[in-house]
Homo-oligomer: A and B are copies of this chain.
Amino acid sequence: MQVSIACTDHNLKRGNGDHSKQSATSPNVVNQARAKFRTVAIIARSFGSFTPRHISLKESTGKHTGMKYRNLGKSGLRVSCLGLEQLMTIAYDSGVNLFDTAEVYAGGRWVIHRPVFLCNGLQMSGLAVTKVAETERGLSRKHIIEGLKGSLQRMQLEYVDVVFANRPDSNTPMEEIVRAMTYVINQGMAMYWGTSRWTAMEIMEAYSVARQFNLIPPVCEQAEYHLFQREKVEVQLPELYHKIGVGAMTWSPLACGIITGKYENGIPESSRASMKSYQWLKEKIISEDGRKQQAKLKELNHIAEKLGCTLPQLAVAWCLRNEGVSSVLLGTSNPEQLTENLGAIQVLPKMTSHVVSEIDHILGNRPYSKKDYRS
Contacts and interface: CB of A to CB of B under 8 A. Distances in A.
A245 B173 contact: yes
A150 B10 contact: yes
A76 B177 CA distance: 9
A74 interface: yes
Interface string A120-145: 00000000000000001111111101
A77 B142 contact: yes
A60 B169 CA distance: 13
Interface stretch (A182-190, A288-296, A301-309, A346-354): A182-190
A302 B140 CA distance: 43
A183 B191 CA distance: 11
Contacts of A74: 173
A339 interface: no
A181 to B, nearest CB: 12
Q: What number of copies of this chain does the assembly contain?
A: 4
A140 B141 CA distance: 25
Kindly name the residue among A7, A10, A71, A161 whose own CB sees the greatest number of chain B CB atoms within 10 A.
A10
A8 B146 contact: yes
A8 to B, nearest CB: 5
Interface string A65-96: 00000010011111000000000000000000
Chief secondary structure at chain A's binding surface = loop
Contacts of A7: 142
Interface in A147-164: 149-150, 161
Contacts of A142: 7, 76-77, 161, 191-192
Contact of A10 (B75, B149, B186, B213): B149
Contact of A171 (B71, B137, B140, B245): B71
A75 B141 contact: yes
Contact of A76 (B58, B141, B214): B141
The 7 A-B pairs at the shortest CB distance, nearest first, are namely: A76-B172, A76-B140, A10-B146, A142-B191, A77-B140, A76-B176, A8-B146
Interface of A: 7-8, 10, 57-58, 60, 63, 71, 74-78, 136-143, 145-146, 149-150, 161, 169-173, 176-177, 179, 183, 186-188, 191-192, 213-214, 216, 245
